[in-house]
Structure 1
């Protein structure tokens, strides 16, 4: 039986909290192997204990965060450009109002339409950036900065392997006990 020493940190609902593997306090944090062969509940404080496990550096996750930050900067840039554009339009309107009398109601409606179309254009840019990010598959799953992948230290890893091995042995023993050919038959002749 081979069990990878790679464990992913997951959260479960508070109602599904179970006893921690170390201290037996209720916990909603779970460490699970990538192939779902083994899992156990653990307190988040134990994940920070350097004698229990160590975080595995996730280069793909770091790259995704970098792309996410770049996307956020780009969205902010689009918002700033929109605000600057609106300021310029307001200044032009004030200059025109100072120089001229009020214009027809139709022209005011056109200005409102222009403002609405600019706002819609900004929203469309932001939505297209978000859709592009989703297509690339770089959406964050968790907002916390805590590591998501861990490697247990050798003693705890060996405990997990022994536990799985004992479960497998107990299962084989139960199957053997149910097999009638395991026990010797009663002698048919009498003495």
Structure 2
């Protein structure tokens, strides 16, 4: 008979070009629910995953704990980065003031310090642009998908999947029986 089908379904995404019709509404969908042992799968719209009459979310405590820990670490890293940037900014400001004083003392003209200030302003602007670019690239790469990944089907839909698996196995057995020549009755051998 059929091996038992667990009521645990993992959400997987496929390419939009591989989208097939949803089990419920028959619209093209790129979301797939699949069993952990890869015995059964079906396409479903993401909107149906939010329907409590279709499926419920199975929350993995270990995964949640790992997410919380990762969030705390990222917050702490951001805090340390900000502190470091502030220290660097203060250090640059002190160096600029020191350079201005040294230049003003060594040179009595006003034109030369203005040129030096313009170069410093350009460097500072370039540094800010580079920092913004780095932040935007790191923000783009670290956008995890926070949607739930493991589901349990409602009992009616789960029973539909079990019935489908049983019907497929029964059809397979029937095909094998029909190919076996001993399945059919033999011609009578007795005379008239």
Which TM-score band applies after superposition, normalised by the shorter structure? Answer: 0.7 to 0.9
- In structure 1, the gaps of 5 or more residues are 104-118, 120-139
Determine the structure 1 residue equivalent to 2:71: 69
SS in 2 for 1:146: coil
Pairwise CA RMSD of aligned residues?
2.5
Q: Distance in 2 between matches of 1:185 and 1:7?
A: 48
Q: Distance in 2 between matches of 1:43 and 1:97?
A: 64
- Compare 75-84 and 4-13 and name the one that shifted more: 75-84
Q: Which has the larger radius of gyration?
A: 2
Q: Distance in 2 between matches of 1:189 and 1:82?
A: 102
Q: Distance in 2 between matches of 1:184 and 1:169?
A: 21
Aligned partner (choices 54, 59, 83) of residue 52 of structure 1: 54
Q: Distance in 2 between matches of 1:96 and 1:15?
A: 62
Offset of 1:90 from its aligned partner?
A: 1.3
Determine the structure 1 residue equivalent to 2:152: 151
Determine the structure 2 residue equivalent to 1:18: 20
Q: Distance in 1 between matches of 2:62 and 2:42?
A: 25
Q: Distance in 1 between matches of 2:93 and 2:48?
A: 59
Determine the structure 1 residue equivalent to 2:32: 30
- Pairing 1:3-152 to 2, within 5 Å after superposition: 3-101=5-103, 143-152=144-153
SS in 2 for 1:8: strand
- In structure 2, the gaps of 5 or more residues are 107-126, 128-141
SS in 2 for 1:100: helix
Q: Once the two structures are superposed, what CA deviation does each residue of 1:13-50 show, in whole Å capped at 9, x if it has no partner?
A: 11111111111111111111111110001111111111
Q: Once the two structures are superposed, what CA deviation does each residue of 1:103-130 show, in whole Å capped at 9, x if it has no partner?
A: 9xxxxxxxxxxxxxxx9xxxxxxxxxxx
Determine the structure 2 residue equivalent to 1:134: none
TM-score for both structures, normalised by structure 1: 0.74
Q: Once the two structures are superposed, what CA deviation does each residue of 1:52-99 show, in whole Å capped at 9, x if it has no partner?
A: 111111212211211221232132123213212211221321342244
SS in 1 for 2:182: helix
Q: Distance in 2 between matches of 1:42 and 1:95?
A: 64
TM-score for both structures, normalised by structure 2: 0.73
